[in-house]
Amino acid sequence: MFYYQLQNKFLISSEEYNKLQRVSEKEVKESSETIYALTRINPLKSRRSFCASDPSLLFLKEEGIKLIQKAPKRNNNLPEWLVNMIKKKRVCMLNTAYPEWQKVLTDKFPWNQLWKINIVGLGDVGGSILTGLRLLGGKWIKDIGIYDKSEKLVRRWEMEANQIIDPVGRKRFPQVHIVEKDELFDSDLFIFCATVGVPPISAEKKDVRMEQWEGNARIILEYAKKARESYFKGIFAVVSDPVDLLCKTAFLASNRDQEGRLDFKGLAPEQIRGYGLGVMYARASYYAQKISETINYNKEGRAFGPHGLGLVIANSIKNYNQNLSEMLTKKALKANLTIRELGYKPYIAPAFSSAVLPILATIQGKWHYSATFLGGVYMGLRNRLHPTGIELERQNIPTPLMERIKNSYLSLSKANAFINFF
């Protein structure tokens, strides 16, 4: 093991870095600061940094879907003090294959203080998200900036949102204010809700999320490039459909130079998060509560994969049943179409279950569903954010369920191959 110090931070590595200042193990051991464990993995397949939540993740050489499977306990010969640091979530994995990896040592999220959030796109979903964050975010959000290409729509929402108060005027609500386009990335969290338009209700026989793919991809390109130009350090939250593919689009777009070459100097993959899976978990829960065999879904069930085709619902991690799980998956997938058959666009549950509540959980460092970078693919699963980075939920996943998850992951990988029109 090698021990280093850089920018007043301590780093450890299983390989030698000649240009770094060597220090003793004792100096690192006695420090109360975050420790950074160095690794080197292809940036197209790995995050720039993440939380080393388990000793098996230390000095990881490859990322992929296997990371959601709980690792067996092994004698890794790590010093006890380091294992204790890992248990406390105070070790951050740092990928030196990124040219600007050292920025991780100084760029931090605003822990223990109120966050600044900006939203672009104030349609049905964007407006609902704004309403939810105004109502529920007073303890964690300082203010919410709003932007839309329609000036009247922005003015309307600034007035209406700020008129949401409690009966005695004592509760704190985030102030809502209008921002210009070039101010969007002066924030801690940017929410992308812009869209070319939701397919009409008559499109209920199709996967309407994929109908929006190309148009929304071209919009997100512009904002991803602006994030790069602004040296954005916060979270780039994608809510527009299809979230999984749009996340990858944003990552690639922000990491290309003016000649279109990948230089990995834009958004780190872990900065981008897709908020779409939460409502699929919620829809499965809605149906699960109506059936006695799946009544424990809220405690034991899980959702994986994209917000649409490829979704994987598990009735239970502890007592997995393939038939019940596939039944809940089908019902969750059709719930969107059922609302459309009634003559309505389904946006209320998605806005709250996929975005408002998971975003607030993200800020608080709580478990939630979102799509995060995993081996080159943005995969929806349970995770949480620590000061040292993202922690994936790792479970003892039954083999039949793991096969379903792997197939979903491979399908997303194939879909990602078509993101090449920049």
DSSP letter for each residue of 330-342: HHHHHHHHHHHHT
Q: Which residues contact 302 (CB under 8 A, 6 or more apart)?
A: 281, 313, 314, 317, 381, 382, 395
CA atoms within 13 Å, Cβ hemisphere of 161: 29
d(CA 415, CA 221): 18
Superfamily of domain 115-274 in the CATH hierarchy: NAD(P)-binding Rossmann-like Domain (3.40.50.720)
Q: Answer yes or no: same fold for 115-274 and 277-416.
A: no
197: left (phi over 0), alpha (psi -120 to 50) or beta: left
Cα separation, 372 vs 362, whole angstroms: 12
Q: What is the pTM of this model?
A: 0.95
The residue extents of the domains of the chain are 2-105, 115-274, 277-416
Question: Per residue of the chain (422 residues), what is the pLDDT tens digit?
Answer: 999 999 999 999 999 999 999 999 999 999 888 999 999 999 999 999 999 999 999 978 899 999 999 988 776 789 999 999 999 999 999 999 999 999 999 988 888 899 999 999 999 999 999 999 999 999 999 999 999 999 999 999 999 999 999 999 889 999 999 999 999 999 999 999 999 866 665 554 555 555 677 889 999 999 999 999 999 999 999 999 999 999 999 999 999 999 999 999 999 999 999 999 999 999 999 999 999 999 999 999 999 999 889 999 999 999 999 999 999 999 999 999 999 999 999 999 999 999 999 999 999 999 999 999 999 999 999 999 999 999 999 999 999 999 999 999 999 999 887 775 44
Question: What is the per-residue pLDDT for 267?
Answer: 98
Q: What is the pLDDT of residue 333?
A: 96
d(CA 407, CA 414): 11
Q: Is 361 helix (H, G, I), strand (E, B) or coil?
A: helix
Please enumerate in sequence order all residues whose Cβ is within 8 A of that of 16, keeping only pairs 6 or more positions apart, or say none. Answer: 2
Structural class in CATH, domain 277-416: alpha beta
Q: Say if CB 373 and CB 47 are below 8 A apart.
A: yes
Q: Residue 422: its pLDDT value, please? A: 45
Q: What is the 3-state secondary structure (H, E, C) of 217-254?
A: HHHHHHHHHHHHHCCCCCEEEECCCCHHHHHHHHHHHH
The CA distances from residue 176 to 77, 194, 277, 408, in Å, are 52, 18, 27, 39
Contact 53, 391 (CB under 8 A): yes
Backbone angles phi, psi at 172, to 5 degrees: -85, 130
What token pair was written down for 366?
Answer: 């709580």
What span, in angstroms and rounded, lies between the C-alpha atoms of 250 and 331? Answer: 31
What is the CB neighbour count within 10 angstroms for residue 344? 11
Report the DSSP pairing between strands 189-192 and 115-120: parallel
